[in-house]
Amino acid sequence: MHEETRVLAGECTIRDSNDPGTRRGEVVVVCKPDDTVLVHDADGYQPTAWLTRAETVTFADGVLTATDGDQFVRVEVHEEYDRTSHPVSAVGTPVGDCPDCDGRLVRDDGAVTCLDCRTTYGLPRDATVLTEAEDCACGCPRMRVERGRAFEVCLDRDCESLDEAVQTAFDREWDCPNCGGDLRVLRRGGLLAGCEHYPDCDTGWGIPTGTVAEECDCGLPVFETANGRRCLDSGCDRAAPEPARPS
């Protein structure tokens, strides 16, 4: 479903909690899908009145009222010039074409969304969408994610699962340092390596973003991350130091 921004233009009286006075003039009122209300006059880019993510927004008997606790914006319409609505979306980086409708896919924060049909694919924040590589056979772009090693999988998790790829590579690969059991690759909020004997042994750590470089002195893997080397156990102080670079 397309989200919509509602737009109202007219001669109005404006009152808001940030200004004790009453103002009147020809304005454009913008109500965004998250219930942010902006009242623009002819001057500059700054709205003359606004309320971010209002708790309630109502329009009745020619009066638009947005409230959030003690904060409010009230717009009384004396002469309405136009009232309309338009589809809007988050602005993102183009990453390919939608396999469902040939619309444009864009990446915004933690998702890739089609601007036409609004199909959305969640993705890890550290993922790189491979815009220059060949698409998956399903038509979706592929992404590169580092979880112990670099994996290249389809954006559509129903087509190709990152979890399954990491499990195939590292499930039972490491031993629990507390009881000797196998560490299983599990999805509990994020991907983690947790002891197979849970709940009797609750040892487990989130798998960091990075690639396995070597074995720590404690027996767990050391990961090469963007912030340097670290043990799977983030509290471990025995991680092997990063090799000195040649002078």
User: How buried is residue 198: exposed, middle or buried, by Cβ count under 10 Å (0-12/13-18/19+)?
Assistant: middle
Model-level pTM? 0.70
Query: How confident is the model over 83-99, as a mean pLDDT?
Result: 91
Helix (H) / strand (E) containing 199 = none
Structure tokens at 164: 């399954």
| pLDDT-wise least confident of 52-56, 100-104, 173-177, 242-246 | 242-246
Q: Is the pLDDT of residue 1 over 60?
A: no
d(CA 119, CA 15): 40
Q: Is the pLDDT of residue 2 over 70?
A: no
DSSP state of 116: T
Would you place residue 241 in the very low, low, confident or very high pLDDT band (cuts 50, 70, 90)? low
Q: Is the pLDDT of residue 245 over 70?
A: no
Q: Which domains does the chain have, with CATH numbers?
A: 3-88 (2.70.180.20), 93-160 (no CATH), 167-231 (no CATH)
Q: Is the pLDDT of residue 67 over 90?
A: yes
Structure tokens at 20: 């004790």
The pLDDT score that the predictor gives to residue 144 is: 96
Q: Is the pLDDT of residue 203 over 60?
A: yes
Q: Is the pLDDT of residue 215 over 50?
A: yes
Q: Is the pLDDT of residue 242 over 60?
A: no
